[in-house]
Amino acid sequence: MKDSQKLSVYFIGDKTLFLIPLYQRNYAWQRKHCERLFDDLKKVNKNHINSHFFGSIVSVRAKEVNDDLLIIDGQQRITTISLLILAAIHCVKAGEMKCGMPDGDIDEYLTDQKNKYLRAKYHQGDRTIKLRPIDNDIKAYDAVFNDDEEAISQYEKSGIVINYRLFCTLIKNNDLTFKDLIEAIECLVIIDIRLDSSDNPQLIFESLNSCGKDLEEADKVRNYLLMSLTADIQEDYYRKYWSKIERNTDMEPTMFIRDYLTVKRKTISSINELYFDFKRYDEENQFERRDLLEDMLKYSYFYRKASGKDYNEGHSSSVDKKFKQLSYIGSMVCMPFYLAFLNYAQEQNLPDSEVYNVLDVVENYWARRIMCGYPANVMAKSFALLHSDVMRIVKQHQQRDIPLTVPYAEVLKFIFLRKQGNAVFPEDTEVQEEFQVRNVYRMPLDYRCFLFERLENKDHKEANDNLVEHIKDGTYSFEHIMPQTLTAQWKQELGPDFERIHEQYLHTFANLTLTAYNSNYGNHSFAEKKEGYQDREGKQIYGFKDSNFKLSNYLKQVNHWGEEEIKERGNKLLQDFLYLWPMIQTAYVPLEQDLDDVSFDDDDVELTGRKIQKFSYRGEEHEVATWKAMTVEVCKLIYQENPTAVQYLSQMDDCFHVEEAKGRTKIADDCYVWTAASTKSLCSVLELLFKEANIEKSQLEFHLIPQRDNVIEDGGDQE
């Protein structure tokens, strides 16, 4: 194994080919990876950085008799650098990039760099192009190498061609010279790992990609935050901040960092991109390290509280107990809201009673949605923006100098009651219908534990605070009163309609309770389950009449278990459910507005049939008369700040195009957007653009004519 070295040194070798083994995957770098590399090279050039780590390259001699290298790991980086240099050379020749050398030296300089990085001019075989990709990529790469536009056009769907064209676009839209770019590439440093020819390349490749534990995203963030500091400051900041952040997050800070970023950026990062999103957030805001770590530490305490970890039986506040109860749900999609709200509550010095009321509304929303079978994944985005939705209303009152006379919880209720579709707040009628028939065993275990804990304990002062823990460790379990397998005695007790009754009620709330005797009860008769009995070994098995579970109180009062009793118990439990989680009403009365303000990030608002009068992008208002005009204007604004994104989409020929045609509207030269579409489709076009340009949808807001003033014409959507 060699030590670290410059990438430019690795490429030196007039006789050496880089051979990509056939078992390797196709070239697969995505646009975001290429843009990240290009941005890094711009920073290297601008900030005069001497070295920038570019990863490792693992290779082995292909044969003992020549210098060719079989690239075991690193083909993506080698291929990408080759494509970037090719794009730059071709752009210089086309007059789209300055060379940075005197006119008389340009051709010689370009040839030298092409020979250095891209050719093996003295290679003994037929091929002198240094890189030999796998069969699926080689024709596309050779077409790009030879600048053969006709051949290139045959491989437009190839990642090779897509990223080559992307680099051409990036180069055209930046002022780097070719010389600047080459000098930046010369600053890239790699770890060069050369294997012995006796090693099995396939086994080496498998071991490199399957053994060991990759760095967690939080590890990368920690290294990013601390490694640039002096040794003394590293140790100081680690002890003051990072170690405490780890403790507050149970030594698993990755998910905390994602939720922290969600609060700050108003968009949810994927785990795989978390480090890069964090780095981008820090670079865009240019935080002092201490300030950023202090802020993260503050939010980590909120994270600990919201995880229910601050609850201490008999010594905790009502808020901590409520967070403990909410933690039983087992989902973390609410966490960005909890973090943002707790920070606001601290800043505004809200009393515990008001914080509790807010959490009670959230719990109500959860319980009703669980009962009605609504999916949890659709809530992630809603909760990511929920605090911002409340703050938007607060801001409206401030701007119009009208006091907001109701507490936070009332505004929150107003927002929940406006939600539609899969994000709806279920009404009583839906809850009542679902409660009687809901198959409890189709719920995730966490949901079951949450609902049964609350139905059992309610708000009793003598509540069993360890109930869920005992369910999960097997001490307690869910008991089917009417058993899963009917004996002859049970069939007789249920009557001639026993099959329907068994199928209809078996897994419902009405037929379930909690017990520590689940394995003993089995399919014993109801009388035995109620009164108790002695097992075959003479051990006393206590029945429902001796149970301490309040959920079994009704069972102590009846001597028979049939459809009538099941229905009656189901109704009693339903009343308990509605007592715990009643249908909400809000005391908040919205302001009379000249226009309805709707964020592009708000998926709960139906835009079909609505008329737009203005839009705001990055806080600046623009007047428009139609949705088509809004779409075109937004595209033009994004083109001004990020032409690469629009040009890239235009080349993909999907919603955006390079040629004029019917139904398309011009954005810029060689850039057209499809606008012969409904309001919903136009918004989908913008979603595609926002995603490619890495712009948060919350940066766009629509100002709509209030619905009461709308006249919806035949044909549905309006321009």
In angstroms, the Cα distances linking 600 to 138, 427, 609, 687 are 43, 27, 16, 9
Number of helices (H), then strands (E), in the chain: 31, 17
Average confidence score pLDDT of the chain: 90
Query: Rounded to whole angstroms, what are the CA distances from 453 to 20, 315, 329, 692, 717?
Result: 58, 20, 11, 45, 47
As a whole number of angstroms, the distance between CA 184 and CA 424 comes to 53
> Which helix (H) or strand (E) is 622 found in, with range?
strand 620-623
16 touches 194 (CB < 8 A): no
Beta-sheet strand order (sheet of 620-623): 596-599, 700-704, 612-617, 620-623
Per-residue pLDDT, 232: 85
The residue-averaged pLDDT of 5-12 equals 91
Identify the pLDDT of residue 519: 72
**Distances from the Cα of 417 to the Cαs of 334, 335, 343, in angstroms?**
17, 21, 24
Q: Which residues pair with 194 in a beta bridge?
A: 59
The mean pLDDT value for 592-602 works out to: 81
- Using DSSP, state whether 205 is helix, strand or coil: helix
Higher-pLDDT residue of 126 and 572 is 572
pLDDT at 601 over 80: yes
Judging by beta carbons within 10 Å of its beta carbon (0-12, 13-18, 19+), is residue 61 exposed, middle or buried? middle
Between 94-108, 118-132, 203-217, 589-603, the lowest mean confidence (pLDDT) is in 203-217
3-class DSSP state of 197: coil
Please say whether the beta carbons of 698 and 600 come within 8 A.
yes
Question: What number is the average pLDDT over the span 496-518?
Answer: 94
Using only the alpha carbons of the chain, give its radius of gyration.
Answer: 32
Rounded to an integer, what distance in angstroms lies between the CA atom of residue 21 and that of residue 195?
A: 15
Burial class (CB in 10 A: 0-12, 13-18, 19+), 697: buried
Determine the pLDDT at residue 549: 95
pLDDT for res 209 = 52
What percent of the chain has a predicted confidence (pLDDT) above 90? Answer: 69
Q: Read off the pLDDT band of 538 (50, 70, 90).
A: confident
Question: How far, in Å, CA of 304 to CA of 656, rounded?
Answer: 46
Half-sphere exposure in the Cβ direction for 522 (13 Å, CA): 7
CB 129 within 8 A of CB 206: no
Distance CA 299, CA 278 (A): 15
DSSP conformational letter for 224: H
Q: Comparing 187-201, 303-317, 499-513, 614-628, which segment has the lowest mean pLDDT? A: 187-201
Asked if 374 and 419 count as a contact pair (C-beta separation under 8 A), the reply is no
Residue 714 has pLDDT above 50, yes or no: no
Angle at CA of residue 113, ends 112 and 115, nearest 5°: 65
Which pLDDT value is given to residue 215?
65
N-term to C-term CA, the chain: 64
Q: Which residue has the tokens 């964090």?
A: 278
Alpha helical stretches, state H, 12-102: 31-47, 75-93
- Among residues 332, 327, 339, 375, the alpha carbon closest in space to that of 266 is found at 339
Name the E strands within 431-525.
477-480, 512-515
- Confirm if 141 and 79 have CB atoms less than 8 A apart: yes
Question: What pLDDT was estimated at residue 652?
Answer: 80
Q: What is the pLDDT of residues 259-294, one digit of tens each?
A: 999 999 988 999 989 999 999 999 889 999 999 999
Q: For residues 421 and 441, give the distance between their C-alpha atoms in angstroms, rounded to a whole number.
A: 25
Cα gap 85→116, rounded to integer Å? 11
Q: Is-contact 476 514, C-beta < 8 A?
A: yes
> Which among 242, 83, 220, 93 is positioned nearest to 155, based on CA atoms?
83
Q: What gap in Å lies between CA 374 and CA 379, rounded to an integer?
A: 10
Which residue is listed with tokens 């909690």?
514
Helix 563-580 / helix 352-372 crossing angle, nearest 10 deg: 150
How confident is the model at residue 53, as a pLDDT? Answer: 87
User: Is it the case that residue 427 has pLDDT exceeding 50?
Assistant: yes
The pLDDT tens digits for 461-503 are 778 889 999 999 999 999 999 999 999 999 999 999 999 999 9
Confidence of residue 712 (pLDDT cuts 50, 70, 90): very low
Q: Report the DSSP pairing between strands 18-19 and 131-132.
A: parallel
pLDDT in tens, 136-152: 799 999 999 999 999 99
CB neighbours of 394 closer than 8 A, spacing ≥ 6?
404, 411
Predicted confidence (pLDDT) at residue 709 exceeds the cutoff of 60: no
Q: At what angle do helices 563-580 and 498-505 cross, to 10 degrees?
A: 20
The arithmetic mean of pLDDT across residues 199-222, rounded, is: 65
One-letter identity of residue 397 = H
CB 116 within 8 A of CB 11: yes
Enumerate long-range contacts of 465-468, CB under 8 Å, 24 or more apart. Answer: 465/313, 465/324, 467/514, 468/328
C-beta atoms surrounding 641 within 10 Å? 11
pLDDT in tens, 557-578: 999 999 999 999 999 999 999 9
Cα 345 to chain centroid distance, Å, stands at 26
Report the alpha-carbon distance of residue 57 to residue 71 in Å, rounded.
7
Query: 490, 498 in Cβ contact below 8 A?
Result: yes
Across the range 400-425, mean pLDDT stands at 94
pLDDT of residue 3: 63
| Of 351 and 691, the one with more pLDDT | 351
pLDDT at 411: 98
Whether 83 shows a pLDDT value over 80: the answer reads yes
Rounded Cα distance between 135 and 154, Å, is 15
- For residues 670 and 646, the answer to whether their CB atoms sit within 8 Å is no
Contacts 24+ apart (CB under 8 A), 618-624: 618/699, 621/703
Provide mean pLDDT across the span 509-533.
Answer: 90
CA–CA dist 181, 166 (Å, integer): 16
Q: What is the pLDDT of residue 716?
A: 34
pLDDT of 696 > 60? The answer is yes
- Tokens standing for residue 199: 């090693």
Q: How far apart are CA 569 and CA 561, in angstroms?
A: 10
Percentage, residues of the chain above pLDDT 70? 94
Task: Identify which of 556, 565, 470 has the alpha carbon closest to the alpha carbon of residue 518.
Answer: 470
pLDDT band (50, 70, 90) for residue 207: low
* 61, β-bridge pairs: 69
Per this entry, what is the length of the chain? 719
- List the structure tokens of 439: 């198959």
Confidence of residue 711 (pLDDT cuts 50, 70, 90): very low
Q: What is the pLDDT of residues 324-370, one digit of tens each?
A: 999 999 999 999 999 999 999 999 999 999 999 999 999 999 999 99
Q: What is the mean pLDDT of residues 240-253?
A: 94
pLDDT band at 15 (very low <50, low <70, confident <90, very high): confident
In single-letter form, the type of residue at position 551 comes to L
219/344: higher pLDDT: 344
Q: What is the mean pLDDT of residues 390-409?
A: 94
